[in-house]
C-alpha cells in the first residue's frame, strides 16, 4: 500500500486487515466499517487509508482525500437506508472532543432521532 501508515494505529491495522472489523466497503483511498460501540442503530466509521492523526494534522492539499471521505459517508447513509430520514456525520478532533483513536475518522450516525446540541 502506497499510503502512509502507522503500524501502532488501530485503524491502520484494520485497513491492512491485521485487526478485525465489519467492513462495509472500500475504495482505493477510503475504508468504511461498523463502529464496535454503536451509539445509534446506524453507526459506521469512514477513514482515509492514509494515516492522518486528526484534522489538525491534515496536510495542505488533502482536500480531495477529505472530500472522498465525506462522499463515502454519504454512501454509508444511502446503503444503510438513513439518507432520506437523516443522519449525522461527526468528526472529533483532539482528546477533549472525544477522539479516542488518533487516525482521522468520520462517524456516520442515523436510524433514530439525533438531538441538538449533541452533548
Task: Judge whether 5 lies within some domain.
Answer: no
- Residue of 76 and 2 predicted with greater confidence: 76
Q: Give the position of cell 485503524.
A: 11
> Tell me: the pLDDT tens digits for 69-112?
999 999 999 999 999 999 999 999 999 999 999 999 999 999 99
What string of DSSP letters covers 28-40?
A: SSEEEEE-SS-SS
Task: Judge whether 97 lies within some domain.
Answer: yes
Domain count, the chain: 1
Q: What is the CATH number for 57?
A: 3.30.428.10
Task: Judge whether 115 lies within some domain.
Answer: no
Mean pLDDT, the chain, whole residue set: 95
Task: Judge whether 116 lies within some domain.
Answer: no
CA distances from 96 to 12, 43, 82, 93 (A): 23, 21, 29, 8
Task: Judge whether 55 lies within some domain.
Answer: yes
Task: Judge whether 26 lies within some domain.
Answer: yes
pTM of the predicted model, to two decimals? 0.94
Task: Judge whether 64 lies within some domain.
Answer: yes
- Confidence (pLDDT) at 81: 98
Rounded CA gap, 102 and 80, in Å? Answer: 26
Task: Judge whether 117 lies within some domain.
Answer: no
Rounded CA gap, 9 and 21, in Å? Answer: 14
DSSP three-state, residue 42 = strand
Rounded CA gap, 66 and 57, in Å? Answer: 12
DSSP three-state, residue 110 = strand
Residue 58: which domain range? 10-110
Catalytic residue among 51, 103, 105, 107: 105
CB atoms within 10 A of CB 102: 19
Q: Is 107 noted as a catalytic residue in this protein? A: no
Amino acid at each position: 500500500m502506497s499510503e502512509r501508515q502507522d503500524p501502532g494505529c488501530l485503524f491502520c491495522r484494520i485497513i491492512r486487515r491485521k485487526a478485525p472489523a465489519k467492513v462495509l466497503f472500500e475504495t482505493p483511498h477510503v475504508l468504511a466499517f461498523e463502529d464496535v460501540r454503536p451509539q445509534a442503530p446506524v453507526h459506521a466509521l469512514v477513514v482515509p487509508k492514509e494515516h492522518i492523526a486528526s484534522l489538525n494534522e491534515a496536510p495542505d492539499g488533502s482536500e480531495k482525500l477529505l472530500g472522498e471521505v465525506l462522499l463515502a459517508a454519504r454512501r454509508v447513509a444511502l446503503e444503510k437506508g438513513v439518507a432520506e430520514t437523516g443522519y449525522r456525520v461527526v468528526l472529533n478532533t483532539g482528546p477533549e472532543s472525544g477522539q479516542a483513536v488518533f487516525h482521522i475518522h468520520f462517524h456516520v450516525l442515523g436510524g433514530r432521532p439525533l438531538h441538538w446540541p449533541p452533548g
